[in-house]
């Protein structure tokens, strides 16, 4: 891995792709652990078009050492330094016949332990007994997400479409995108590869049209401490 070029890509474009991080055997092991999990909890969502697990690493703690491998931890340290920890995790499984799609958006909220009145934090939402809030931009600008791909992903089965550089423009509403100035990139990632992205990067995904699955783990990292009494609700102990 060319660390300097990857850092530059993240700084300039808001994302980078690194393939061949997890082996075939490691991917099979991850899928096996997920399939054995008790899906009766409310954080598990299963429909015809999507299977998702919120608070993924907390719901399936046995999978943590197989996700946060020495190789992945080394990449994080090389690209971002030390002190970063998991603060949110989701597992997505888009079936081969899925019509699920996601319009352009930024990831503007963080998961926290309670709702309280703190300057700069808001609006608030609650979903499945999980509080989420939009924090100050400084928090979002410093965080990053790693998406681990358990299947080959391209434009035919819901690979992310992104607008390079949009992470540097603050809150950027999809309805205000000027396509005369912006360009779109489709982020194909091989099975076992990762995509690293900033939360403020505008991203979207299409419906699947080739009958191929797309399974991804979405893990957010931060090195920041929230103002008391707020805590990262999904921080690993």
199 pLDDT tier (thresholds 50, 70, 90): very high
Instruction: Give the per-residue pLDDT at 5.
Output: 97
233 pLDDT tier (thresholds 50, 70, 90): very high
**Residue 119 DSSP code:** T
End-to-end CA distance of the chain: 30
Q: How much is the pTM?
A: 0.94
Which candidate, 24, 17, 58, places its Cα nearest to that of 145? 17
Spatial distance between the Cα atoms of 145 and 219, rounded to a whole number of angstroms: 5
For 20-46, what is each residue's pLDDT tens digit? 999 999 999 999 999 888 777 766 666
236 pLDDT tier (thresholds 50, 70, 90): confident
For 178-196, what is each residue's pLDDT tens digit? 999 999 999 999 999 999 9
For 49-66, what is each residue's pLDDT tens digit? 557 889 999 999 999 999
**Residue 208 DSSP code:** B
- 167: Cβ–Cβ under 8 A, 6 or more apart, which residues? 14, 141, 197, 198, 199, 200, 201, 202
Angle (CA) 74 76 78, round 5°:
70
128 pLDDT above the threshold of 80: no
Which candidate, 111, 187, 189, places its Cα nearest to that of 143? 111
- β-bridge mates for residue 221, sequence order: 86, 144
Average pLDDT on 115-121 reads 95
């Amino acid at each position: 891995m060319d660390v300097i070029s990857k850092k530059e890509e993240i700084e300039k474009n808001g994302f980078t792709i690194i393939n061949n991080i997890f082996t075939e055997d490691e991917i099979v092991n991850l899928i096996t652990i997920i399939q054995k999990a008790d899906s009766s909890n409310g954080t598990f969502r299963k429909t015809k078009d999507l299977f998702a697990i919120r608070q993924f690493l907390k719901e399936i703690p046995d999978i943590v050492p197989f996700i946060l491998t020495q190789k992945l931890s080394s990449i994080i340290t090389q690209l971002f330094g030390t002190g970063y920890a998991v603060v949110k995790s989701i597992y997505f499984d888009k079936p081969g016949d899925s019509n699920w799609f996601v319009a352009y958006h930024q990831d503007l909220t963080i998961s926290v332990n309670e709702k309280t009145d703190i300057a700069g934090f808001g609006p608030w939402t609650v979903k499945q007994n999980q509080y989420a809030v939009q924090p100050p931009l400084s928090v979002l600008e410093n965080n990053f997400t790693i998406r681990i791909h358990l299947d080959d992903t391209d434009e035919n089965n819901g690979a992310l479409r992104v607008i390079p550089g949009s992470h540097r423009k603050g809150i950027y509403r999809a309805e205000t995108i000027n396509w005369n100035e912006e360009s779109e990139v489709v982020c194909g990632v091989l099975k076992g590869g990762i995509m690293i992205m900033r939360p403020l990067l505008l991203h979207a995904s299409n419906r699947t049209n080739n009958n191929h699955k797309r399974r991804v783990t979405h893990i957010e990292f931060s090195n920041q401490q929230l103002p008391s009494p707020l805590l990262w609700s999904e921080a690993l102990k």
